[in-house]
Amino acid sequence: GAGVSQSPRYKVAKRGQDVALRCDPISGHVSLFWYQQALGQGPEFLTYFQNEAQLDKSGLPSDRFFAERPEGSVSTLKIQRTQQEDSAVYLCASSLVYDTQYFGPGTRLTVL
């Protein structure tokens, strides 16, 4: 009965470093979403998987952002050469197909 888990919960990176953020969805959830939430704003869609297939990556802000879900379960969001504007909370959500999205606690990324 565990919910969506994300790790790490907090990440501090120096500008130019690469980071990898992990999401463990609810067991059995086919759909997995990544959102970015800047301070004081609503979450913004980044990308979406159905099983291992990345069906929508229209929200990824640049080619420095890459997401994968190779076995249709755990997903990793990778950001290369981090910039200060990448500082935000990265939220993962999972769901059954066309069902309620359940959000994880997020990873707060701070780029110095």
Nearer to another protein, 25 or 104 (CB): 104
Cα distance between residue 96 and residue 38, in whole Å: 26
Q: Is 91 in the site for another protein (CB under 8 A)?
A: yes
| 3-class state of residue 109 by DSSP | strand
Q: Is 27 in the site for another protein (CB under 8 A)?
A: no
Other C-beta atoms closer than 10 Å to the C-beta of 22 total 15
Q: Is 106 in the site for another protein (CB under 8 A)?
A: yes
Please state the φ and ψ torsions of residue 45, each to the nearest 5 degrees. -65, 135
Give the residues lining the site for another protein (CB under 8 A): 31, 33, 35, 41-45, 48, 56, 59, 91, 95, 97-98, 100-106
